[in-house]
Amino acid sequence: MVDQRKIGIVGAGGRMGQMLVRVVAETDGCVLAGASEVAGSAHLGADPGVLAGVGESGVTITDDTAGLFAGVDAAIDFTVPAATAAHAALAAEAGCALIAGTTGLEAEHRAALDAAAAKVPVVWASNMSSGVNLLFAITEQVARALDPDFDIEIVEMHHKHKVDAPSGTALSLGAAAARGRGVDFDTEKVLSREGITGERQRGNIGFATLRGGDVVGEHSVVFAAAGERIELTHRATDRGIFARGAVRAANWTGGQPPGLYSMMDILGLSGA
């Protein structure tokens, strides 16, 4: 029997955690080998497979996150920035790969991922969707091809419960556009506009954020010049695309050397 990659899921009782459990169960080459939740969670002691509706998994949800990392080949983390930083240290100590889909990371959280990546494979992506990562690559190419007379605006919409804005995906799209244009993203980005802002500055990369309802995620990159406009859009209607991408990444890390990777690496789009 071919060895299966042992996958652990942090936050297995949540909506995304349960979806990850379902995707692992239906994906060849891997098996659920660990699941955790925060102390005090109502899901502690439960079987994550039963909770996710795919039957008994033989795994029990625990609050021993360090123990989870010690018993798996790769752990998937869609939590919050501070927790992801702590989990990066646990992954490095345990020698398991970390797949992180957490957004809203600050410099100190990214530093924790960098430190872990010196010892184990770490995949971080603001969006695990294959389609969105293709959009990153296309956005960079279009920005490279067009002259600066084309203004760049990024519009995103998510459900009303999302806590960070602009979304991590929107920021990654802006960074891709900046790379294509050969400019510094932090210098050119305009994250919001209010009041009398004056005329739009040539070269700026603007953002607009919408929140409402149960929208899974919509992102558009608009290149607008005199007389013409190009719009690149991705619409997500099923959160399963993020879970499938994360499990694909967890399987991909098998045999990979330590390093900080992205979904672009996994999809073969790096340098595209």
CATH code (residue 34): 3.40.50.720
Compute the mean pLDDT over every residue in the chain, rounded to the nearest whole number.
94
Per-residue pLDDT, 163 = 87
Q: Is residue 183 part of a domain?
A: yes
Cβ–Cβ < 8 Å for 221, 173: yes
Residue of 43, 87, 158, 219 marked active site: 158
> In the sheet where 259-261 sits, what is the strand order?
30-36, 5-10, 74-77, 97-100, 121-124, 259-261
Whether the pLDDT of residue 2 is over 70: the answer is: no
| pLDDT tens track for 123-163 | 999 889 999 999 999 999 999 999 999 999 999 999 999 98
**pLDDT at residue number 104:** 83
Domain residues for the domain of 147 are 130-236
- Residue 104 shares a structural domain with residue 156: no
Residue 184: is its pLDDT beyond 50?
A: yes
Structure tokens that stand for 198 in this block: 């004056």
Other Cβ atoms within 10 Å of 65 Cβ, number: 22
Does the structure show a pLDDT above 50 at 174?
A: yes
Contact indicator for 121, 190 with CB cutoff of 8 Å: no
* Same domain? 90 vs 149: no
Region 238-257: mean pLDDT is: 94
Task: Dig out the tokens for 27 from the structure.
Answer: 């994906």
162 assigned to active site: yes
SS3 162: coil
CB atoms within 10 A of CB 148: 13
In whole angstroms, what separates CA 267 from the centre of its chain?
Answer: 14
Nearest to 65, CA basis, from 132, 12, 107: 12
Provide, rounded to the nearest whole percent, the portion of the chain with pLDDT above 70: 99
Residue 93: its H or E element: helix 81-94
Q: Locate 95 and state its tokens.
A: 């020698």
Q: Is 26 helix (H, G, I), strand (E, B) or coil?
A: helix
Q: How confident is the model at residue 188 (pLDDT cuts 50, 70, 90)?
A: very high
The model's pTM is: 0.82
**pLDDT at position 1, please?**
43
Within 10 angstroms of residue 118's Cβ, the number of other Cβ atoms is: 11
β-strand pairing of 97-100 with 74-77: parallel
pLDDT tens profile 73-98: 999 999 999 999 999 999 999 999 99
pLDDT class of 223 with cuts at 50, 70, 90 = very high
Same domain, 12 and 136: no
Among 45, 55, 66, 63, residue whose Cα is nearest residue 21? 55
**Could you tell me if 112 and 41 lie in one domain?**
yes
Whether residue 56 sits in one domain with residue 119: yes
In a domain, 271, yes or no: no
Residue 17 lies in a domain: yes
Residue type, 183: V
> In the predicted model, is pLDDT for residue 271 greater than 70?
no
- pLDDT greater at residue 189 or residue 271: 189
Can you give the CATH number for the domain in which 188 is found?
3.30.360.10
